[in-house]
Structure 1
Amino acid sequence: MPSTTPVRGAPAPRTPVQHTFAELGTPLSDVTFVVVDLETTGGRVSDSGITEIGAVKVRGGEVLGELQSLVDPGRPVPAFVARLTGITTAMVATAPPLDLVLPSFLEFSRDAVLVAHNAPFDVGFLRAACEQLGYEWPGYRVVDTVPLARRVVTRDEARNHKLSTLAALFRATVTPEHRALADARATVDVLHGLLERLAPLGVTHLEDLATASDPVPPDVRRKRTLADGLPEAPGVYLFRGPGDEVLYVGTSTNLRKRVRSYFTAAEKRRRITEMLRIAHAVTPVVCATALEAQVRELRLIAEHEPRYNRRSKYPERQSWVRLTSEPYPRLSVVRQVRPDSAHIGPFSSRRTAQSAVEALQDAFPVRQCTARLARVSRVAGSPCALAGMGRCSAPCVATTAPDTAYDEVVHALRGALLGDPAGVVEPLAARVGALAAQERFEEAGRLTERLRAYLRGAARTQRLDPVARCAEIVAALPTPDGGWELVVVKHGRLAGTAVTGPDDDPLPVVDALRATAEVVEPATAPAPACHPEEADLVLDWLERPGVRLVHVSGPWSWPVRSAAMHVDLAQVRAAVDGDGEIDRSVVGGALPAVVATMAPC
């Protein structure tokens, strides 16, 4: 049976001290640590057993007790393990089995913080032992001395962070020898040495140890309490400044866990660290679903324009490519969609939109001048250089009859904007191939980028336009527990959402959701009645496997020969087999399902 040896000299009661708010928590001097070490027959829990347990209980720098016992692993001890530890099969043959030793350890370590060097190894074996013998895992707080050592012990001081190396560095009173109790005693000295070095870094309380191994500035670390009390639920969080202004908006499926991560080494963005230094509070907005949380994030960013958010702050700055409504239409880059015109977009920047315009102008001899032209001019104009190069039919010189040739160009151009992109892809792809054959790779690259800009804008339009025209879409997605996630979409905008339980009838909830959904006025299609990124999020959700349409007010479709099948030119080209069919094993799920059976344009 294991022997427990109490040690005299437990620390006397301390005089109460009034701490500041920044120091609230459990001082490390008041924490009871149980430093544990195991010896095993191998390195894997699945096929190895414990041969020895050693543990030392300490508080305030004083040793309160020790526990040590050999354990019969129920299997032979391999020769290499016997050479390493000195524990042989004969030694453990008469030792107590694990079902007698484990209860003693669990009682010895009750209400303590578990410490180990390379803790995942020891804790993994202990957790597996509890599961095997039917004991509930106590849910210890665990401190691993390895990452703590990496935080404060440099390579100049120690060549590695092994226990023997650290024990020598901190002049431990016991030399590690691959025996459980000796290694646990050495780990106690290493722990005290590490805590002594961590104290000047602001690690003075138990709560500090959770992120002590992270290289986080002390002033930022002290604000980790902003995450306290946040719900572990999906939603949106708002970091607020001294004047209650919104500094940053984010979203997560677990609000508390996500906000805590800002105060660890996982957060490496300098501007976010700057934001954390001035943040005073975090406001949570709990949402019923992850989709609602993502949409609320976009809306809050657009509303508050937080200075530390970079994306989606200015939806009005997104650009569209428009085919103007005039006697001889031309292409222009605009901020808003206008009625009775063909558009593609939106594009993230005006520069990208202009690249799409240049791709279209490369494929079609559409006029590039900005002058207003009459259908039939009284005075003939002067043709420009583009007309001389055959890149414009020069409608400005028509004085006797309308330029019907230009009408044909505009008709083909409108088709490329709204439907089949073959009129752009084929001539530009041929030019890219010719340039590459001539080793004019820079020109070929610029032309390819222009073509891709056009295709992405056209594909996005063809995806947004149908949902923007639908007055109402009601859809349902099964939840893992057997319920339903319900969504109402109006003109691309999320107008309502709800979740039903596994035993609830979803149809009455659908009726109530439709009756109480937000009233949404339509925008000018193809623009949705919301931020375009919100419509993208809604479409991503609607296209998820398992989503079922409950109600659709109008047609919801997009062209078979759409721009989406050409967005990644290299991928689609590799996916086309000898019969002209698309190999979906190459393309994957990136293309609309209806395209899978169609030959490429």
Structure 2
Amino acid sequence: MAVPDNSRQQLSFDELGVSLHDVTFVVLDLETTGSRGRYDSITEIAAVKVKGGEVLGEFSTLVNPECDIPPAIVSITGITDSMVAEAPRLDGVLPSFLEFAAGCVLVAHNAPFDIGFLRGGCERLELPWPKPTVLCTVQLARRVLGKNDTPNNKLATLARVLHARTTPSHRALDDARATVDVLHGLLERAGPWGVHSLEELLEFLPAVTSQQRRKRGLADALPNAPGVYLFRGPNEEVLYVGTAGNLRKRVQQYFTAGERRGRVKEMVALAERVDHVECAHSLEAEVRELRLLGTHQPPYNRRSKFPNRAWWVVLTDEAFPRLSIVRKPRVRSLGPFRSRRKAEEAVKALQESTTLRRCTQRIPAGDQRGSPCALYEMELCGAPCAGHQDVEQYAPQVVAVSELMDGAGDGVLEHLRESIDRFATTQRFEEAAARRDLLAGLVRSVDRGQRLAALARIPELVAARPDGSGGWCFAVVRHGRLAAAGTARHGTPPMPVVDALRASAETVLPGDGPLAGVPTDEIHVVHRWLTAGDARMVHCHEPWSEPAGAAGKWRSWVDRATTARDPYPED
């Protein structure tokens, strides 16, 4: 084993960073069905939150993987299909885990495996990945233990070598507890190497490139404040844009072993300087980041490839309208959808509950001479192409969908709900479950779109949230767009600040479509900030309300349906 090199230059107090004793670690472990290709194959999640050697809390739950568990995996973990049958699905577990781990350093034994499943689950469920700092105990063990210390770096072996109080058992909570003891043992071994802070620990691990070490000084001039940072290349081009609650600390992480993304390391090698825009609070930082991504489309940001991408479902402007998926919304549209697949699922749900035609041909208002297709025989279409329906007879289907888009009626949802009952009554449970999922997805999409549209209609509102230090963070929002942001520190009268923000706020003229022309990503971010539990309304030009016939009244049904044990929900 190599001898620690203690001759390196002494760091300043600021450079020492956060003491390991003050870092909150969330040590996690997953059990899965053994399929690396399916991120919904998690069968158990457990985590232990520790700080300064003290356990602060534990998180543990089985997860319904929605697929069979192979016998070989059952023999290893002891987790059977019957054990997970009544467990919550990943969409009911992952948000709770992310909340439990928020703001903490994630630790796992063979971390790429566990983190890969969690990130994949977030992507599938369209949840934002919080980009936490990640520490792998396998990597740390390879750094501080030699061949004479341990024959291998398996968890069971390290638990024995480092005298862990819990023996790993291939169950998530036991393995997480064992990993806590292994982590503490490894950190003690790292102490003689001069590793006493989180920053030193991340730099100590072997994944730091020479370019990362050499360019660490690019973060020195940044403030310890929220804002947006821009990595610029040799020709002043913007390579990467990011946001942070603490600009200096976040940018410093790009020059440590905590940054494992290959493309980002490549970006750091090209970067010549880091510019920044200091912001009043996190909302302004997020909005500015989105706008800068749209303006510069930096090559190393994945999101910049599709700025403000959204899909919408509309009714075509024809004598016999049909559903169409488009990129540009109209006054009456359903959406926005983050992917075309989600939009297609909404179209399928609407087609299952109406007899709107599914063909793409243009049908004149009179003298139809086509031949009906198989859908007519299946009673899924009224065959206006063959003259079996005129415009007046076809109109009720169009009206039903239009009312759903406008929030004036929910007949389409109720019709789909009744079909679930019919399938369940005849014991066609798989079909009932499929309809349930279609309806739940449609309700969520319509509800989200109507809530965003309601915000976009308001000419101006001012909201406030506590800043955590006795002061307030303010946002002036006009037609769903952030027009101004500011803060009133503890002891500062807040209303003069509000008046100044309103007077200097950006003028916003409403555009076309349900969201008044506001980019989809921006209004999502603004709505999330405004509807947080600690938000307060300071001023609103007109009542912020949603239509009474909107999908919002179906939220409780969706909650019951998606957590029900049966294939269909009971009333």
Query: Shorter chain as normaliser: what TM range?
Result: 0.5 to 0.7
Structure 2 CA distance for aligned equivalents of residues 149 and 541 of structure 1: 38
* 2:208 corresponds to: 217
More off after superposition, 414-423 vs 219-228: 414-423
SS at match of 1:533: helix
> In the TM superposition, what are the counterparts of 1:18-57 in structure 2 within 5 Å?
28=7
Matched, 1:344 2:334: yes
1:236 CA drift (Å): 0.7
* 1:274 corresponds to: 266
Structure 1 CA distance for aligned equivalents of residues 432 and 305 of structure 2: 34
514, 519, 533: which one aligns with 2:502: 514
Q: What amino acid maps onto 2:347 in structure 1?
A: V
* 2:247 corresponds to: 255
* 1:354 corresponds to: 344
* 1:335 corresponds to: 327
1:348 CA drift (Å): 1.3
1:425 CA drift (Å): 5.8
Gaps of 5+ in 1: 1-25, 34-145, 166-189, 196-202, 577-581, 583-599
* 1:366 corresponds to: 356
* 2:523 corresponds to: 535
* 1:74 corresponds to: none
1:296 CA drift (Å): 0.6
1:299 CA drift (Å): 0.8
Q: What amino acid maps onto 1:258 in structure 2?
A: R
Matched, 1:474 2:462: yes
* 1:556 corresponds to: 544
Distance 1:545 1:384, change over 3 A: same
RMSD over equivalenced CA pairs, Å = 4.0
Contact 2:330 2:514 in 1 (8 A): no
* 2:183 corresponds to: none
SS at match of 1:475: strand
1:324 CA drift (Å): 2.5
Structure 1 CA distance for aligned equivalents of residues 517 and 280 of structure 2: 22
* 2:238 corresponds to: 246
Distance 1:421 1:266, change over 3 A: farther
194, 211, 233: which one aligns with 2:225: 233
Q: What amino acid maps onto 1:519 in structure 2?
A: T
1:363 CA drift (Å): 1.0
1:237 CA drift (Å): 1.0
Q: How many residues get paired? A: 404
* 2:485 corresponds to: 497
Q: What amino acid maps onto 2:229 in structure 1?
A: Y
More off after superposition, 415-424 vs 302-311: 415-424
The alignment's TM-score, normalised by the length of structure 2, stands at 0.61
* 2:452 corresponds to: 464
Contact 2:229 2:241 in 1 (8 A): yes
Matched, 1:158 2:168: no
Contact 2:333 2:514 in 1 (8 A): yes
What does the per-residue CA deviation read over 1:351-374, in whole Å, with 9 as the maximum and x for residues that have no partner? 221221111101110011223333
> In the TM superposition, what are the counterparts of 1:119-134 in structure 2 within 5 Å?
none
Structure 2 CA distance for aligned equivalents of residues 241 and 27 of structure 1: 35
Contact 2:371 2:386 in 1 (8 A): yes
1:268 CA drift (Å): 2.7
Structure with more relative contact order (C-alpha pairs < 8 Å, separation 6 or more): 2
Contact 1:148 1:213 in 2 (8 A): no
Contact 2:308 2:520 in 1 (8 A): no
Q: What amino acid maps onto 1:389 in structure 2?
A: M
> In the TM superposition, what are the counterparts of 1:91-490 in structure 2 within 5 Å?
150=141, 152-159=143-150, 209=200, 211-219=202-210, 220-311=212-303, 313-315=305-307, 317-339=309-331, 342-375=332-365, 377-398=366-387, 402-419=390-407, 420-421=409-410, 423-424=412-413, 427=416, 430-431=419-420, 434=423, 441=430, 450-490=438-478
Distance 1:225 1:396, change over 3 A: same
Q: What amino acid maps onto 2:416 in structure 1?
A: P
Contact 1:149 1:194 in 2 (8 A): no
Distance 1:221 1:444, change over 3 A: farther
Distance 1:310 1:569, change over 3 A: farther
Contact 1:459 1:564 in 2 (8 A): yes
* 1:43 corresponds to: none
The alignment's TM-score, normalised by the length of structure 1, stands at 0.59
SS at match of 1:317: coil
Q: What amino acid maps onto 1:311 in structure 2?
A: R
SS at match of 2:320: coil
Contact 1:302 1:313 in 2 (8 A): no
Contact 2:231 2:274 in 1 (8 A): yes
SS at match of 1:262: helix
Gaps of 5+ in 2: 13-136, 151-156, 163-188
1:480 CA drift (Å): 3.4
Distance 1:487 1:192, change over 3 A: closer
Structure 2 CA distance for aligned equivalents of residues 530 and 460 of structure 1: 15
Distance 1:28 1:191, change over 3 A: farther
Q: What amino acid maps onto 1:262 in structure 2?
A: Y
Contact 1:483 1:503 in 2 (8 A): yes
Structure 2 CA distance for aligned equivalents of residues 393 and 301 of structure 1: 47
Contact 1:151 1:214 in 2 (8 A): no
Structure 1 CA distance for aligned equivalents of residues 311 and 329 of structure 2: 9
Contact 2:232 2:238 in 1 (8 A): yes
Distance 1:404 1:207, change over 3 A: closer
SS at match of 2:280: coil
Structure 1 CA distance for aligned equivalents of residues 448 and 355 of structure 2: 24
